[in-house]
Amino acid sequence: MPSDSIQVDADIIALFEAYAAGFDDFDAEAIADCFAYPCTIWQFGRGNVFVDRDDLKENIEALLDVFDIEEIVQSRFTLHGVETANGTGFARLSWRQDREGGETALAFSCVYALLLGPEGWHIATVFNDDPEDIGPRDLADHEAP
């Protein structure tokens, strides 16, 4: 694998580590920093467009309220594959969000459309999907610590 690919993968892994840390810290600002604007989140059969950071932060804060109710304390991901070309990319991740003691509160998967800008990789679109759709990939999986 060329060293460029290894660096791209490391940079994308770092993006999702920051994204997960934002959830673990209940830090809406840190989560919002992971996105390019405008961005779209597809779930439950519809796309929601967030024009700017403030618009998305309202959604993030509502999601963090759910995390609080569900007593989620840790978000962990497995990266199942990354494809990049010309400053764009796709990444497929599965997520597990646990309560204190390791009990799983939520488990799901997403595909992310990514954009490379002057400050690095950012999420442009999130596609939530069924974790059972995840199968073997050509690229090695990466589990976050």
Query: pLDDT-based confidence at 124, cuts 50/70/90?
Result: very high
Please tell me the distance from the alpha carbon of residue 116 to that of residue 32, in angstroms, as a whole number.
Answer: 16
Q: Which pLDDT score, from 0 to 100, does residue 143 have?
A: 56
Domain extent at residue 124:
3-143
Q: Output the average pLDDT for the chain.
A: 87
What's 53's DSSP letter? H
Helix spans in the chain (H): 3-24, 28-32, 53-70
pLDDT at 7 over 80: no
Name the more confident of 132 and 70: 70
Number of domains comprising the chain: 1
CA angle 11, 133, 33 (to 5 degrees): 30
pLDDT at 140 over 70: no
pLDDT at 78 over 90: yes
CATH of the domain at 40: 3.10.450.50
pLDDT at 22 over 70: yes
